[in-house]
Amino acid sequence: MAKHTIVTMPGDGIGNQVLPEAVRVLEAAGFDADYIHADIGWECWRREGNALPERTLTLLQQHKIGLFGAITSKPKREAEAELSPALQGKGYQYFSPIVAMRQRFNLDICMRPCLSFPGNPLNFVRKKPSGGFEEPKVDVVVFRQNTEGLYAGVEWSNPPQQVREALRSHPKFKPFDDVPGADLAVSVRIITRPAARRICEAAFRHARQFRYKSVTICEKPNVLRETSGLMEEVAKEVQKRYPEIPLWSTNIDAQTMWLTKNPEDYGVIVASNLFGDVISDAFAGLVGGLGFAASGNIGAEVAVFEPTHGSAPKYAELDPPIVNPIAMILSAAMMLDHLGEREKAGRIRDAIAAVVAEGKVRTYDMLRMAGGAQALRQGAASTTQMTDAIIAKLEVGAEKAYAGSRRN
């Protein structure tokens, strides 16, 4: 019997291309696991009116660990139009399956590492005052509260009367009181103290364990006084138990400017849901973009690991595939960390670093090419070729480790 059972959810589009590549790397690293396929995404929505079937939730509840590829999401009217004719007009509403998964299993800790690999032509560089360029090392981990904020899903188009009455109780609603219901949409930003405390605790624990020099709370308390104010208040409370780690506070808008001036100054960043989403993508842009952006959604029992890129349907039908599998492979390495398989995770990251530094195998995004079948003809590596190169470096690393053990 395998040591672990992993629920694999390729989902839509390129998710079906990159997830099998990550499994190949896991197997090459010697990870002992069985893999169980689970349905999720757009085809489930079209056939069943549910992008996250109960059978998939049951598998996650049973096995606790998931690897997830990507999903397609479309606006409300487009989603309804693509339902099976037998389901149309019956009140089905599309809801993001990854958001639903996070809320169902309270995967409230989202961890997004943004680490630059030397030699990556997509890394952030800046001009020196004296001339020439420098490439600062970026090593940032964003902790994003994953279940609340503006992504909680508490919103209305044409709010019902009782909602309007509640809104009228706040003096700031007065300018909107006469707006017709059909012209009004409302979303509620919800922050709770317990969830804020959990994400801040996770951020400080990580900073202490891996010796990051600071934790930054990235919010907007000067405007969002209640919700961002609560996040900042809790961060200050938690910091008292980690006196050796300074807490910095930045506004989300200013942070997006500073990260392109001095990204090496930052270590661990913690933020509410939307702001964490924004700032993690912004930092990912400094270390290679979405082809290098991994994440983990972690709860008390269940954890799901995924790249942060989308399903990229325009590339999904290309054969051979051209998309960069590194984000998915890095997500699998995060899964190994979570399972206590840190040695294997480290070897996978070392293999990726070696391929990037060598520079012989680069996908189209790393070569700054337009996507499409022509990219391979122009010298870009395919998805499979990138994985092959990473596995080759894994094998070389294993041979060196074996030779070293023999000498010792």
pLDDT tens series, the chain, 408 aa: 779 999 999 999 999 999 999 999 999 999 999 999 999 999 999 999 999 999 999 999 999 999 999 999 888 889 999 999 999 999 898 988 998 999 999 999 999 999 999 999 999 999 999 999 999 999 999 999 999 999 998 999 999 999 999 999 999 999 999 999 999 999 999 999 999 999 999 999 999 999 999 999 999 999 999 999 999 999 999 999 999 999 999 999 999 999 999 999 999 999 999 999 999 999 999 999 999 999 999 999 999 999 999 999 999 999 999 999 999 999 999 999 999 999 999 999 999 999 999 999 999 999 999 998 899 999 999 999 999 999 999 998 766 654 555 555
Residue 158 covered by a domain: yes
The SS3 of residue 77 is helix
Which of 286, 312, 341 terminates a domain? The answer is: 286
Is residue 62 located within the same domain as residue 164?
no
Residue 116 covered by a domain: no
Closest by alpha carbon to 217, among 242, 244, 196? 196
Residue 340 covered by a domain: yes
Which of 286, 318, 342 terminates a domain? The answer is: 286
Q: State the Cα–Cα distance between residues 49 and 39, nearest whole angstrom.
A: 13
Is residue 305 located within the same domain as residue 408?
yes
Which of 134, 167, 187 terminates a domain? The answer is: 187
CA dihedral of 114, 116, 120, 125, whole degrees rounded to 10:
100
The SS3 of residue 184 is coil
Residue 355 covered by a domain: yes
Is residue 137 located within the same domain as residue 245?
yes
Q: State the Cα–Cα distance between residues 97 and 192, nearest whole angstrom.
A: 23
What is the distance of C-alpha 255 from the center of its chain?
19
Is residue 249 located within the same domain as residue 373?
no
The SS3 of residue 240 is coil
Is residue 226 located within the same domain as residue 245?
yes
Q: State the Cα–Cα distance between residues 201 and 372, nearest whole angstrom.
A: 44
Domain that holds residue 353: 1-108+299-408
Residue 115 covered by a domain: no
Structure tokens at 35: 């893999």
Is residue 202 located within the same domain as residue 83?
no
Question: In 130-226, where does DSSP find H-type helix?
Answer: 161-168, 193-209
Closest by alpha carbon to 330, among 21, 7, 4, 10? 21
Question: In 126-265, where does DSSP find H-type helix?
Answer: 161-168, 193-209, 227-239, 252-258
Is residue 177 located within the same domain as residue 311?
no
Residue 118 covered by a domain: no
